[in-house]
Structure 1
Amino acid sequence: MGMKFVLAFIVTWALQAQAAWDLNDVSYLMPLPKEASANGLLGTQDMGKGGALLTASMLERMPPLALHMNREQTAQAIKVVAVRIDPCFPLPTPQSCQKQIRLVWQPFELTRRGTIQSVDAAVHTFYVLTDDEFKSLLKDLAAWKKKYPANTQYVPLQVHPAWANEGDQSASLQDFNAVIKKYAGLGNISRATVMVLRGAGDMWAFAGFSYENGAMDMFPVPRLNGRTSQAFVNTAIPFDHFSGGGISPAPKGANTFNYLVAESARLGEGTEEMIRNEVRAAFRVENPKNFNPENLDCVSCHVAQPAIRWVLDNRSGLKADQLWDSEIYKNVKYDLKNVTPDMWNTRMIRGFGYFNEHVSISQRVINESAEVADMLNQDYNLKKGRK
């Protein structure tokens, strides 16, 4: 057994050593700003490739992100909280690759305690790169990392180590922002997806918009037979269970967990088989080898993590993580640990950003980041250059 352990350790170490691109090299989480508007994060005032990163007119065509803010206040408050790079987004067809930079935006506001927190809303913007532009981006990121050599190897996805201590005034963050503005802007934006909070603070609505030649059109949500929006309702108090609604409209067929996130109090004795099937679906949804953004509906993607956590915490006797171990995404080259606090909170459905004052990262984003890092490590090495 000792020799097997040593061999396993050596193999794991060798794989990690080869991972020049790691999770925090492909997905970048910004620091929580110290001020609501005047901070070092990118905003609507920043000009990128061919124009602004996100224009006021685009925001006006989307649902209001925060009902207590007017359009002008929203445009000032919304900031880039995360950046992701992707060499193979499944467009224009699921079988082909589109190279992209993606920006995650959230509004920030001042609390009554005088602290800064995020508003529970988000915009996700997509910028298309040519092959040559993507190669140039990778070279610029490699140069940036050489200038600010923070350790990212086998580090879980988190606020990026290069600016974690100095916050939004970090020189490394400002230089990173300059790289992003070089490759993303009005000149190559292709779409935007939106999540807003409605009702009595218990309904999350999702929609997506394509952008071409100044025109914005809603596009269908996958698995919903042409519907262009979707919502999740959860009126639970306290926030440790599901109650009051669930997914609407709900996807049909296999790989769905509609009952699990609708009214968990009903999932008592006699529902074990249904829980097993639905938590298996949630594990499959978290695994990017099964689903991509072009064949997965919005709510299932965002709610899979709290659904799994509820089962593990409240129906531990089912041993769901052991039963469906083969469905859980694994990749030994990276630390897939989730640093999000309070994952038991069933209202915390943020993909990559902040929930109030706390980091919020979905396991799906962590797993996708590992897949992206794998693709980049096959073609590009930060230390040795392109193979």
Structure 2
Amino acid sequence: MQMKLFFLIFGVVVSFSQAQAMSLNDLTILLPLPKEKEMSLMLSPENKGPQGALLSQKTYQEIVQLVPEVPNHVTWRDSLKVVGIRIDPCFTEGEGPLECRRQIRLIWQPVFHADNAADTRDAAVHSFYEFDEETFNRLWNDWQKLSSGSSTDALQIHPQMKAEGLKGPYWKHLRALILNYCGENNLIRMTAMNVMAGEQLWIFAGFDIENGQAKPMTIPRIKGRTQGVIQSSSQFQSFTGGMMPPPEEDAEFGKFVSDSSTTKKKFTEAQIKALMGKVQEYENPEKHNPGTLDCASCHLANMGHQWGQLNFKQWNWENEFKNIAYQSSWNLENTSKGPLRTNQLRAFGYFMAWPAISQRVINETAATATYFNIR
């Protein structure tokens, strides 16, 4: 689906136009996994500031069982930690014209130590905190003190925090900033992804928080409250599985993610190019937002894109899809170095101990940098 988004941004352009140079890593921040002695320095759900606890047990209990063999309240108490932070000056949802909503998003995963090394579970919670324009301007003024690196840096584990550790000044400032501005008082949404059935079934769900009450979200394009993904192989040469349910409007993408070998054999090259174009539309924040794309399609796009590049190396990808793929002068390189696996659906965070960053998140971060005019 082609879609042009229109944003009502008057009243904030002047405030952001004089921002100092920053890196993509200062807008979408992936924390380094902690050393064992640093675990207490990570943000936990019960940490609180003027806006209250970041994520109360009462609110957290509304989500699906995050780790199948561990009760939710135990995960919340013992292992759930913030591993990533994103600032979004213009969150939009649905078809335009749309007014910008100003938010911070915290990415939580179960984090633990085993064999003297940090690791994570393949599960995540995202919590969204929203601000009025005046508060967001104050927040942004504080945020700019985090300036580090170069505007040419690719998105990765935050380089300064990786060098300093969680005891360093960067995390000290950012941690205090999050606690000052975020909490249950301005928490407006919580989404989650967990793994069931021997790590072959992923479940997506979410809740909007209204007057302190969690109300299940309806997932776009499927009109249901939960959506599943099955992948029966961890190799990129071929995979079977699919979406539960798939969106009816994109039947070919549904067929592809359910059986890649059959797609490669039966589809013409032109059909597969059209399919890869669709994948890059999903990754393009100028064509889709969380109100126009279902959870599974968004998370599977990165996998589909990598599969295409692996299986069709003869294509000139940059030229072939230049009118479809997101374009930016910012560095859009994907630095995720983990193995190519179809069972890695993480959009931003960690897959075990490997950083996992999807192209969609990189593109969204570049769009945020453009919006803030931070070069």
Say whether residues 1:99 and 2:102 are aligned partners.
yes
Match of 2:42 in 1: 41
CA distance in 2, matches of 1:44, 1:20: 32
Using the TM superposition, give the Cα deviation of residue 300 of structure 1 relative to its aligned residue in structure 2, in angstroms. 1.0
Which residue number in structure 2 is paired with residue 253 of structure 1?
249
Write the deviation string for residues 311-346 of structure 1: whole angstroms up to 9, x where unpaired. 1112334555542232111211x1111110136211
Pairing partner for 1:129 from 106, 128, 131: 131
Matched, 1:266 2:266: no
Q: Deviations over 1:210-231 (max 9, x none)?
A: 112221111110111x211111
1:325 is aligned to 322
1:186 corresponding residue in structure 2: 184
Which shifted more, 316-325 or 56-65? 316-325
The question of 1:220 aligning with 2:222 is answered no
In the TM superposition, what is the alpha-carbon distance from 1:46 to its structure 2 partner? 0.7
In the superposition, the TM-score normalised over structure 2's length comes to 0.88
Structure 2 equivalent of residue 14 of structure 1? none
Match in the other structure for 1:293: 290
Structure 1 residue 176 displacement after superposition: 0.8
SS in 2 for 1:327: coil
Report the CA distance between 1:50 and its aligned residue.
2.2
Aligned to 1:207: 205
Distance verdict in 2 for CA 1:322–1:28, change over 3 Å: same
**Contact kept in structure 2, 1:309 and 1:343, CA below 8 Å:** no
One-letter amino acid matched to 1:28: I
Q: How many Å separate the matches in 1 of 2:264 and 2:154?
A: 36
State how 1:302-317 maps to structure 2 within 5 Å.
302-317=299-314
Q: 1:286 and 1:144 mapped to 2: Cα distance?
A: 27
The unaligned stretches of length 5 or more in structure 1 are 1-17, 383-387
Distance 1:87 1:256 in 2: 34
Aligned to 2:4: none
Tell me if 1:110 matches 2:123.
no
Query: Conserved in 1, the CA contact under 8 Å of 2:24 and 2:366?
Result: yes
**Is residue 240–residue 258 contact of structure 2 (8 Å, CA) maintained in 1?**
yes
Equivalent pair of 2:124/2:193 in contact (CA under 8 Å)? yes
Aligned residue in 2 for 1:233 = 230
Distance 2:367 2:20 in 1: 12
**Which residue of structure 1 aligns with residue 335 of structure 2?**
339
Cα deviation, 1:194-215, whole Å, max 9, x if unaligned, reads 1000112111110110112221
- How far is 1:257 from its partner? 1.6
Q: Quick one: distance in 1 between partners of 2:37 and 2:64?
A: 21
SS of match in other structure, 1:194: strand
Matched residue of 2:45: which SS?
A: coil
Q: Is the 8 A contact 2:240 2:260 kept in 1?
A: no
Give the distance between the partners of 1:25 and 1:330, measured in 2 at CA.
Answer: 20
Aligned to 2:145: 143
Partners of 2:34 and 2:310 in 1: how far apart? 33
What does residue 28 of structure 1 align with?
A: 29
- Tell me by how many angstroms 1:242 deviates: 4.7
CA 1:295–1:220 in structure 2 vs 1: closer, same or farther (change >3 Å)?
A: same
Report the identity percentage: 32
Indicate if the aligned counterparts of 1:279 and 1:320 stay in contact, CA closer than 8 A.
no
TM-score where L is the length of structure 1 = 0.86
- Separation of aligned partners in 1, 2:256 and 2:306: 11
Letter in 1 for 2:127: T
Distance, in Å, in 1 between the alignment partners of 2:263 and 2:224 is: 29
Q: 1:72 to 1:253 in 2, by over 3 A?
A: closer
Give the 5 Å matches for 1:14-25. 20-25=21-26
Q: 1:243 to 1:38 in 2, by over 3 A?
A: same
1-side partners of 2:366 and 2:59: how far apart? 32
The structural deviation recorded for 1:51 is 0.9
CA contact (8 A) 1:256 1:282 kept: no
Q: Which amino acid aligns with 1:30?
A: L
Deviation readout 1:249-295 (Å, 9 max, x if unpaired): 11122596212211112234341243222111001111111001111
Residue type matched to 2:109 in 1? Q
The answer to whether structure 1 residue 352 and structure 2 residue 351 are counterparts is no
The CA deviation at 1:156 is: 0.6
